[in-house]
């Protein structure tokens, strides 16, 4: 079954490039850039990957991203991710990057973008993996800061397909970013947003009605609101679900409690994704394997999940 799952052609639609920074590469980049780290070695860093909630993870994720300094660093990060995709027959990717995580540290927007885009182009030409890049705003920062980031991005408009919304969800509802999303859409960009990971179903309604998103990232709490479920099913709004992430961040107590297959059986267009694979224990392949191990996912269900990921592409 594992080989069969691995060979299934699939797309990954919910992946934070900064979250694919493996501890080994993190240490190598720290050495290359002469940055002192608070961890002794790779093993002690890995042992810090135990989280009770999203914020505990984000604190470490932003700390890890500090080793990314040069265009080559962003290239190496993205290329390492694409090599993993190749191993697992992920044939199309729509990754997020968080420009503010870098520009706020004094790294130029173009440095980040050039490194990522060059690797994605090489992924297309050398590995046969197609892509669409998503610029994600940090929701714990202001809407004004998001507007400034969008303005910085506009000279490179054709390098993106969409804007997204990530970081600390609770207390930062989609409504806070209604105007900047309208501006992005007026530039012809599509939209996605994290909603219903830790936040309530109301945040999913807002993402749909105020931000006018094409997909919901996570969205697992939709199941608490029957009217919302009906809409998501009727309109076939894709949810980019991340099973290992949800268990590592205690959205579900354990994988056996995860609702992805219940949603699938109810007709929701759910997809399987890795979110931050370096931190959560695996890439798309490991996420599919976990659904087989803990939820007895059938081959027929896996086929539908993989097909959903190909159907829910924006690029
Ligand atoms: N940034 C990186 N991973 C994230 C997640 N799972 N939720 C919100 N923001 C994130
Ligand atoms: Zn995410």
Report which bound ligand comes closest to the CA of 216. Answer: 2
Q: How many CB atoms are located within 10 Å of the residue 236 CB?
A: 12
Give yes or no: 197 in active site.
yes
Spans of the chain, pLDDT less than 70: none
Residue with the two structure tokens 């520009």: 103
**pLDDT tens digits, one per residue of 242-252:** 999 999 999 99
Q: 219 CA to middle of ligand 2, Å?
A: 11
Candidates 18, 22, 197, 286; catalytic one: 197
Does residue 246 line the site of ligand 1, with CB under 6 A? no
Q: 139 CA to middle of ligand 1, Å?
A: 10
Residue nearest to atom 1 of ligand 1 (CA): 167
Q: How open is the CA angle 90-92-98, to the nearest 5 degrees?
A: 105
Residue nearest to atom 9 of ligand 1 (CA): 167
Does residue 101 line the site of ligand 1, with CB under 6 A? no
SS3 39: coil
Contact 314, 135 (CB under 8 A): no
Mutate which of 57, 95, 101, 220 for ligand 1? The one with the most ligand atoms within 8 Å of its CB, which is 57
Q: 251 CA to middle of ligand 1, Å?
A: 13
Structure confidence at residue 20 (pLDDT): 98
Does residue 16 line the site of ligand 1, with CB under 6 A? yes
Closest ligand 1 atom to 166 CA: 9
Q: 15 CA to middle of ligand 2, Å?
A: 6
Structure confidence at residue 11 (pLDDT): 98
CA distance 149 to 162: 13
Mutate which of 166, 170, 174 for ligand 1? The one with the most ligand atoms within 8 Å of its CB, which is 166
Report which bound ligand comes closest to the CA of 15. Answer: 2
Structure confidence at residue 145 (pLDDT): 98
Residue nearest to atom 6 of ligand 1 (CA): 275
Picking from 243, 300, 286, the residue whose alpha carbon sits closest to that of residue 87 is 286
Contact 217, 95 (CB under 8 A): no
Q: 98 CA to middle of ligand 2, Å?
A: 11
User: Dihedral sign, CA of 66, 203, 221, 236?
Assistant: negative
**pLDDT tens digits, one per residue of 48-66:** 999 999 999 999 999 999 9
What is residue 275's DSSP assignment?
A: B
**Which domains does the chain possess?**
2-311 (3.20.20.140)
Structure confidence at residue 132 (pLDDT): 98
SS3 112: helix
Cβ neighbors of 126 (< 8 A, separation 6 or more) are none
Does residue 19 line the site of ligand 1, with CB under 6 A? yes
């Amino acid at each position: 079954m594992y080989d069969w799952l691995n060979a299934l052609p699939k797309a990954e639609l919910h992946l934070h490039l900064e979250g694919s920074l493996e501890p080994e590469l993190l240490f190598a980049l720290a050495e290359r850039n002469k940055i002192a780290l608070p961890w002794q070695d790779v093993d002690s860093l890995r042992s810090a990957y135990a989280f009770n909630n999203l914020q505990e993870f984000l604190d470490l994720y932003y700390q890890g991203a500090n080793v990314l300094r040069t265009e080559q660093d962003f290239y190496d990060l993205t290329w390492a991710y694409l090599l993993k995709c190749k191993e697992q027959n992920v044939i199309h990717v729509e990754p997020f990057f968080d420009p503010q995580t870098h520009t706020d540290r004094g790294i130029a927007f173009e440095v980040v973008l050039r490194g990522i885009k060059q690797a994605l182009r090489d992924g297309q030409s050398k590995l046969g993996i197609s892509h669409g890049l998503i610029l994600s705003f940090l929701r714990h920062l202001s809407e004004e800061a998001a507007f400034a980031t969008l303005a910085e991005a506009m000279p490179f408009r054709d390098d993106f397909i969409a804007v997204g919304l990530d970081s600390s969800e609770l207390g930062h509802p989609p409504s806070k970013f209604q105007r900047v999303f309208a501006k992005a859409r007026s530039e012809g960009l599509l939209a996605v947003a994290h909603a219903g990971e830790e936040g309530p179903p109301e945040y999913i309604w807002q993402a749909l009605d105020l931000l006018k998103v094409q997909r919901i990232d996570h969205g697992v709490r939709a199941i608490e609101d029957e009217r919302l479920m009906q809409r998501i099913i009727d309109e076939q709004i894709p949810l980019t679900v991340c099973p290992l992430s949800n268990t590592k961040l205690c959205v579900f107590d354990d994988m056996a409690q995860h609702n992805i297959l219940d949603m699938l059986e109810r007709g929701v267009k759910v997809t399987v994704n890795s979110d931050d694979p370096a931190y959560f224990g695996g890439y798309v392949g490991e996420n599919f394997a976990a659904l087989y191990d803990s939820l007895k996912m059938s081959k027929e269900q896996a086929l539908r999940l993989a097909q959903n990921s190909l159907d829910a592409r924006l690029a």
